[in-house]
């Protein structure tokens, strides 16, 4: 595990960055950057010893951010619809470049991209690899996401070369382990009797637990290069949204409804090829079904 470093985590108020920052704070000096529109979002971070900084990446507001970090984890991301495409690019693309420029003296940087970068394949069981075509997709949850991710990766690759800054670009698959994760939202929907939506049946994923992400960070940063190391960041267990909704339904005794709504140009599945990630980090340590059950139990414990 990483220790004794000074680390900047952007997007620290988000569901992915927050648990990673909290895990790093035990053995490192961690700074967390976000807009913090809700001031209460800082409380548990402050309590953990994380130095929080409110900043707007789109405005280039980095005056209060030091330039002597040894590692950068750039996880900040703004979701937006097509009417806000310019704002999305300014924040997600230009903002990334400004953060990387600010931290250009670091030993390495990890830049978070995602599966939305990939051009869709018609087969829902197609495992997307890092060499697959990119940039011709659409997502229902954030229409500007594919364009922004393409720009983000381009800027990160440029900064790696221009600043001689070793960079790893991770294309995140489905994140899990907290209630705000995608599987967690499905659990909440089943418990509330509300339907969820999937683009296809089946809708495969290989989710990665934040515990695996935390211990894999060191290997991924070690793999950073000035030509940018690019890897999927996914789990080893393959499952489907339909399967985990069935589990939550069976455990709760409540019907789980997963409606299929196809989105034009959206991939029917989100299955990532884990080969390169395993070469860098070794196998994951968590099992999806066990972790999903643990998440379910933690989310329903208050009602028992």
239-240/204-205 β-pairing: antiparallel
Q: Of 207, 210, 182, 211, which Cα lies nearest the Cα of 271?
A: 207
Report if pTM > 0.75: yes
The rounded distance, in Å, linking the Cα atoms of 232 and 209 is 14
Q: How far is CA 48 from CA 31, 56, 91, in A?
A: 11, 23, 27
pLDDT by residue, tens only, the chain of 304 residues: 899 999 999 999 999 999 999 999 999 999 999 999 888 989 999 999 999 999 999 999 899 999 999 999 999 998 766 677 788 899 999 999 999 999 999 999 999 999 989 999 999 999 999 999 998 776 655 666 778 899 999 999 999 999 999 999 999 999 999 999 999 999 999 999 999 999 999 999 999 999 999 999 999 999 999 999 999 999 999 999 999 999 999 999 999 999 998 877 788 999 999 999 999 999 999 999 999 999 999 999 954 4
Burial class (CB in 10 A: 0-12, 13-18, 19+), 144: buried
Spatial separation of the C-alpha atoms in residues 30 and 49, rounded to whole Å: 8
**C-alpha Rg value of the chain to the nearest Å:** 19
DSSP assigned state of 303: G
Taking Cα atoms as reference points, which of 78, 71, 29, 33 lies closest to residue 49? 29
Q: Determine the Cα–Cα distance for residues 20 and 107; give it in Å rounded to an integer.
A: 19
Residue with tokens 């250009």: 104
| Structure confidence by residue, pLDDT tens digits, 135-167 | 877 665 566 677 889 999 999 999 999 999 999
pLDDT tens for each residue of 238-247: 999 999 999 9
- Show the tokens assigned to 270: 């989100």
């Amino acid at each position: 595990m990483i220790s004794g470093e000074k680390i900047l985590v952007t997007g620290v108020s988000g569901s992915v960055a927050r648990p990673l920052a909290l895990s790093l704070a035990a053995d490192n000096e961690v700074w967390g950057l976000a807009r913090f529109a809700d001031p209460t979002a800082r409380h548990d971070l402050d309590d953990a010893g994380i130095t929080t900084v409110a900043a707007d990446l789109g405005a280039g507001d980095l005056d209060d951010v030091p330039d002597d970090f040894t590692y950068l984890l750039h996880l900040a991301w703004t979701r937006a619809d097509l009417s806000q495409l310019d704002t999305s690019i300014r924040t997600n693309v230009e903002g990334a470049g400004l953060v990387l420029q600010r931290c250009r003296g670091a030993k390495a940087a990890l830049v978070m991209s995602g599966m939305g970068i990939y051009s869709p394949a018609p087969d829902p069981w197609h495992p997307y690899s890092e060499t697959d075509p990119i940039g011709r997709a659409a997502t229902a949850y954030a229409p500007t996401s594919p364009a922004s991710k393409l720009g983000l990766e381009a800027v990160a690759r440029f900064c790696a070369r221009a600043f001689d800054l070793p960079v790893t670009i991770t294309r995140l698959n489905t994140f899990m382990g907290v209630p705000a994760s995608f599987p967690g939202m499905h659990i909440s929907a089943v418990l509330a009797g509300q339907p969820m939506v999937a683009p296809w049946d089946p809708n495969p994923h290989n989710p990665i637990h934040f515990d695996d992400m935390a211990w894999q960070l060191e290997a991924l940063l070690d793999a950073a290069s000035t030509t940018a190391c690019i890897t999927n960041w996914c789990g080893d267990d393959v499952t489907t949204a339909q399967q985990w909704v069935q589990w939550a339904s069976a455990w709760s005794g409540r019907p789980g409804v997963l409606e299929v709504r196809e989105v034009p140009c959206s991939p029917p599945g989100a299955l990532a090829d884990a080969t390169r990630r395993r070469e860098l980090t070794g196998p994951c340590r968590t099992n999806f079904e066990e972790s999903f059950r643990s998440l379910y139990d933690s989310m329903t414990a208050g009602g028992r």
